[in-house]
């Protein structure tokens, strides 16, 4: 599990994009949707807004 920061922050978008790019072609699946993650039974810690 990786946390990159607030999804609306530019540097978090850049980090997340870099992670997704590096994982392309691997067997690792990026789940960036709370509802989808919950459907897999993953524990969810939702970020607190400012």
- Count of domains for the chain: 1
Output the tens digit of pLDDT for each of the chain's 50 residues: 666 666 677 877 888 888 889 989 998 888 777 777 778 777 766 666 65
Nearest to 1 by CA among 24, 30, 34: 30
Q: Are 16 and 4 in contact (CB under 8 A)?
A: yes
pLDDT score at 47: 63
Please give the full DSSP string across 1-42, using - where no structure is assigned: ----S-TTSHHHHHHHHHHHHHHTTSS------HHHHHHTT-
Whole-model pTM over 0.85: no
Could you tell me the residue range of the domain that residue 50 belongs to?
1-50
pLDDT score at 31: 76
């Amino acid at each position: 599990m990786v946390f990159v920061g607030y999804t609306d922050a530019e540097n978090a978008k850049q980090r997340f994009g870099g992670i997704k790019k590096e994982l392309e072609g691997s067997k690792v699946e990026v789940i960036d949707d709370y509802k989808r993650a919950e459907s897999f039974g993953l524990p969810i810690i939702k970020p607190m807004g400012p």
